[in-house]
């Protein structure tokens, strides 16, 4: 396991966009911009159940995430990792609402949410961390 240093944690806790790469069933990459977070040790990515990235991570836990520092777009953190857990229910709903507040100022997530949508937090353990 690789460790996130203080600067990488700060970027993950900031209002910075991340790009999540997962693997499609045929092995080709699939990249999605996401809001990312950290618990100080792992990366946290929240998505809706049934989306392509969710299906890909459930099938193949290997991922890569690149986060750009919006204050200095020439600085980035790149993380290779493995999904170690997925969390659903109230914890996932509260997490997307906290990300919504961080990124949009809205206390409740207003994205493409449907009444029956189930949110999922993927806990990603870093295996390699690079900074540029």
Residue-range domains of the chain with CATH: 6-131 (2.30.110.10)
**How confident is the model at residue 108, as a pLDDT?**
87
* Amino acid 30: pLDDT: 98
pTM assigned to the model: 0.94
- The pLDDT mean for the chain works out to 94
**Where residue 11 falls among pLDDT bands split at 50, 70, 90?**
very high
- Reported as a single tens digit per residue, the pLDDT across 70-89 is 999 999 999 999 999 999 99
Mean pLDDT of 47-63: 96
Q: What is the DSSP string of the chain?
A: -----HHHHHHHHSS-EEEEEEE-TTS-EEEEEEEEEE-SSSEEEEEETTSHHHHHHHH--EEEEEEEETTEEEEEEEEEEEEEEEEETHHHHHHHHHHHHHHHS-SS--SS--TT--EEEEEEEEEEEEE-
Query: Which pLDDT score, from 0 to 100, does residue 32 have?
Result: 97
Q: Is the pLDDT of residue 1 over 80?
A: yes
pLDDT at 50 > cutoff 90: yes
Phi, psi of 61 (to 5 degrees): -75, -5
């Amino acid at each position: 396991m690789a460790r996130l240093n203080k600067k990488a944690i700060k970027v993950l806790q900031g209002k910075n966009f991340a790009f999540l790469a997962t693997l499609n069933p045929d092995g080709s990459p699939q990249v999605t911009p996401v809001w990312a977070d950290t618990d100080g040790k792992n990366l946290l990515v929240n998505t809706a159940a049934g989306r392509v990235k969710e299906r890909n991570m459930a099938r193949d836990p290997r991922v890569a995430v690149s986060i750009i520092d919006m204050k200095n777009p020439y600085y980035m953190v790149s993380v290779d990792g493995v999904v170690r857990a997925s969390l659903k229910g109230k914890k996932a709903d509260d997490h997307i609402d906290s990300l919504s507040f961080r990124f949009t100022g809205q206390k409740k997530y207003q994205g493409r949410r449907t009444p029956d949508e189930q949110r999922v937090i993927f806990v990603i353990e870093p295996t390699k961390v690079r900074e540029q």
